[in-house]
Structure 1
């Protein structure tokens, strides 16, 4: 891996860690799992910036910053709960399918996950529509823009966690 902003010594150390982790993926996985609480804390610390982003895209709606922060906390909590339910459903149905040999259970888990993710997007869209009281088209455009921005926020936190995991594993 070539990282031009790092000194050659640090780059060599990171490349050595990457080779080690490629040979031992369980160590990397365990480290990611250990850092999940810190990742969630980092997301919580980024929520004020997310609320500021909502304030900017809804600048003419005359809501206070604290109201945007409340919406950000609500949607973030809902997303985390939905993801927890989706992962839990997938784990339970996969374990039951492997224990019982009933293939339908793994397909059921996929359907449950699909239903949770579909409901998650519908619920978040309707939350944004109802709170900000805009038309369907404006809400859809702003939902797509804010969803993209939130995805970038999640991706940046995940990348930071992965890089930190590689360095500290």
Structure 2
């Protein structure tokens, strides 16, 4: 069942994220800060965080928010599924939920950023599978040899 995240979920979400094997310790520290800020103030600023909870077992989550200084552009900042549940469709359900939620908030464009390293090829393949374009890359963004890959998907038709 999908439900809004609570502050009590933070430790479990950080542990779930660490268990995927995709995130560095610095990124896990950042996630904790993001979740703390979300519960302290950013939820009131339109940030959204939801968890997939089955019988008090958190299996995945998403965190998305409006992009500042844009006309209805949103970012999907975090999406993760428990390592034991990957490849079973839960990530797709979470991504489709984000798209519907952003549309419901009047969002027109969804952006997602990830790494260019070979380790992240399954992640990039996942976004392409769900119809995301790759309009930009920035070589060596995160570190030498680790570039930024930007994915985008238009959620509302262009205004006439």
What TM-score range do you get, normalising by the shorter chain?
under 0.3
Which is richer in helix? 1
Largest Rg, 1 or 2: 1
**Which protein, 1 or 2, shows the higher relative CO under an 8 Å CA cutoff with sep ≥ 6?**
1
